[in-house]
Chain A
């Protein structure tokens, strides 16, 4: 039964939706944690330190997250490959002008996200949180410091803005898509969810993007937390 479900068109899609939903929740959590950056290192560093203190727990969370992530991608790749094959001969004249851009770009925003994620993990997860890159004004500010220093580079700011807007785009289709795929439909609420999905996508992108901009600005005016 499970095998049949995974092999079926709807089953695959629903697993993509469920893993997508888990990733959305992770993103929300990540975003809330990120917003603590605005309150300074004391508030922000609380979380990463807490997580690191769990030791093996961290490994479990990380591998769980990675599994969900790769399942999401793997199943999507399988679906997209089937979709490409399903057309057979391509249209010469098809008019897709009424196709939503977010939807159309799903596989591409997904790929950009994957790349972005690799850079992001390299930037912040794999670095020593109390190492050289965390030192601001001669003092290590932990992960906060890493973030602060990373966004001194305008190139990286641009890269992150691109990354989080891809994420926003991806979510603006993804959220309502999850609802449809898992089979919830309502004449009144479905259109509202579609609007919310779009709104949420934009909100997530803007809030995430505010961080590189904020630190870019901080780097110019100088950090207020450095004595």
Chain B
């Protein structure tokens, strides 16, 4: 058993999308420092259930930092602000007894609150739907090693592809922009020879879809990069800007 913490939690409670929410304060004692942040919320929810209250709704699934389900603003920082850490991988040893922890959902007009800390991120799926793919049908692929990919481009594609779609970038951006998310997919696919054929239409359509969904604009503050649990770089945004400009002026996209 590890050390124990006594905490005060201020959690955003909201019944559904249409209702207005508010912060509710809970005291939680005896939290093990080895517990993860979500496990701490589990403990709270068990307590709430048995006392006849409704547990706090929060999204989660794999709890190992890869599915991208979890996320909330913890003390004003997306995922709690630890470097490259999702909320499920944030551990209570980063807090101390007596701390007041403020927990608020990710906020953006494009990501409306569903309940408590759960937000609707289907806008991100719609951005992918608008062009985040390579149009190859099952069965029509050539032999894999016929497509050679330069190692630096393969590495760039891999780094961009690490995005888990958690929306922390949107949450952390002062303008609720989805540029980091969108650029990660644009650069992942556009860096590869098999994805370059559609790269121009892809970047145009995906950028357009961002706006349709009501995301804000990039103001180059790079808070998205700081909040990203997978270390996606804003150089992807620069690359997307460049490709967008080239695509709109019918120039070939640079590498």
Task: Identify the A interface with B (CB < 8 A).
Answer: 1, 4-5, 8-14, 79, 82-83, 85-96, 98-100, 103-104, 106, 173, 176-177, 179-185, 187, 190
Contact = CB atoms under 8 A, between A and B. Distances in A.
B77 A83 contact: no
Contact of B239 (A94, A173, A185): A185
28 contacts: A1-B248, A4-B248, A8-B248, A9-B217, A13-B217, A13-B241, A14-B244, A83-B175, A83-B177, A87-B216, A88-B107, A88-B109, A92-B102, A93-B73, A93-B75, A94-B73, A95-B75, A96-B174, A103-B221, A177-B220, A180-B238, A181-B218, A181-B238, A183-B238, A183-B243, A183-B245, A187-B235, A190-B235
Interface in B204-224: 204, 207-208, 210-211, 214-221, 223
Given A83-B174, A83-B216, A93-B76, A183 B109 contact: no
B176 interface: yes
A99 B241 contact: no
A8 B209 CA distance: 10
A106 B219 CA distance: 9
Interface residues of B, number: 47
B118 interface: no
Contact of B220 (A98, A103, A184): A103
A95 B81 contact: yes
B226 A98 contact: yes
A181 B174 CA distance: 17
Interface string B169-188: 00000111100000000000
Interface centre among B10, B76, B104, B217 (most CB of A within 10 A): B217
Contacts of A103: 219-221
Given A1-B248, A83-B174, A93 B102 contact: yes
Contacts of A95: 75-77, 81
A177 B23 CA distance: 37
Find the residue from A14, A106, A183 having the highest chain B CB count within 10 A: A183
B8 to A, nearest CB: 14
B207 to A, nearest CB: 6
Query: What is the interface of chain B mostly: helix, strand, loop, or mixed?
Result: mixed
A32 B32 CA distance: 64
Interface string B60-88: 00000000000001011100010000000
Which residue, of A91, A96, A179, has the highest number of chain B Cβ atoms within 10 A? A91
B138 to A, nearest CB: 33
B234 A180 contact: yes
Given A87-B109, A103-B219, A181-B218, 15 more contacts: A9-B217, A10-B207, A14-B244, A83-B176, A86-B175, A86-B176, A86-B214, A86-B216, A88-B108, A89-B113, A93-B73, A94-B73, A96-B223, A181-B238, A183-B240
Interface string B103-117: 010011110110000
A88 B177 CA distance: 12
Given A9-B210, A95-B76, A89 B217 contact: no
Nearest to A78: B217
A95 B107 CA distance: 13
B242 interface: yes
Contacts of B248: 1, 4-5, 8, 11
B157 interface: no
Contacts of B239: 183, 185
B242 A90 contact: no
Nearest to B215: A86
B200 interface: no
B199 interface: no
Nearest to B227: A98
B123 to A, nearest CB: 11
B166 interface: no
Contacts of B107: 87-91
A127 B65 CA distance: 65
A200 to B, nearest CB: 16
Contacts of A90: 107
B245 A8 contact: no
Contacts of A92: 12, 23, 102, 104
A184 B214 contact: no
B109 A85 contact: yes
Nearest to B210: A9
A90 B174 CA distance: 10
A82 B220 contact: no
